[in-house]
Amino acid sequence: MIFAKRAAFAAAAFSGLMLVATANAADARLSDCHQMASQVAAAMSTAHPGQATDAAQQEAKTGQGYCALALYAQGVAHYAKALQILGQPQSKG
């Protein structure tokens, strides 16, 4: 009985995670992650090394991780935070 409850809970949790991933994919796409990664890389290449670039690099790394997991909206948000730290505007398109 306990095993059945645990299995049902695990199945429900897994299906919930799949719905979250699908919802996030609808908000942003892989191409958005690539575009933001390019913007951050360009901003990093012109930035002066220091604490801000370290923080921006960590945000970009986190964004890359989310994008790799197909959690595109979260990945784009972290890339946007990296641009904000670097004082760069996010370009559209």
Q: 28 lies in a domain? A: yes
**Mean of per-residue pLDDT scores for the chain:** 80
Q: Which two tokens stand for residue 40?
A: 């951050």
Structural domain containing residue 39: 2-85
Quickly state the pLDDT bin for 93 (edges 50, 70, 90): low
The answer to the question of residue 29 being in a domain is: yes
Phi, psi of 47 (to 5 degrees): -80, 150
* 92 domain-assigned: no
- Given a contact cutoff of 8 angstroms between Cβ atoms, the answer to whether 61 and 83 are in contact is no
Tokens of 82: 């990296």
**Average pLDDT of span 54-77:** 96
74 within some domain: yes
- Domain membership of residue 76 (yes or no) is yes
Classify residue 68: in a domain, yes or no: yes
Give the count of domains, the chain. 1
Residue 83: the pLDDT is: 95
Name the DSSP letter for residue 74.
H
Is 93 a member of any domain?
A: no
Could you tell me how far CA 54 lies from the centroid of its own chain? Answer: 17
Please tell me the predicted confidence (pLDDT) of residue 4.
Answer: 56
- Asked whether residue 5 carries a pLDDT value surpassing 70, the answer given is no
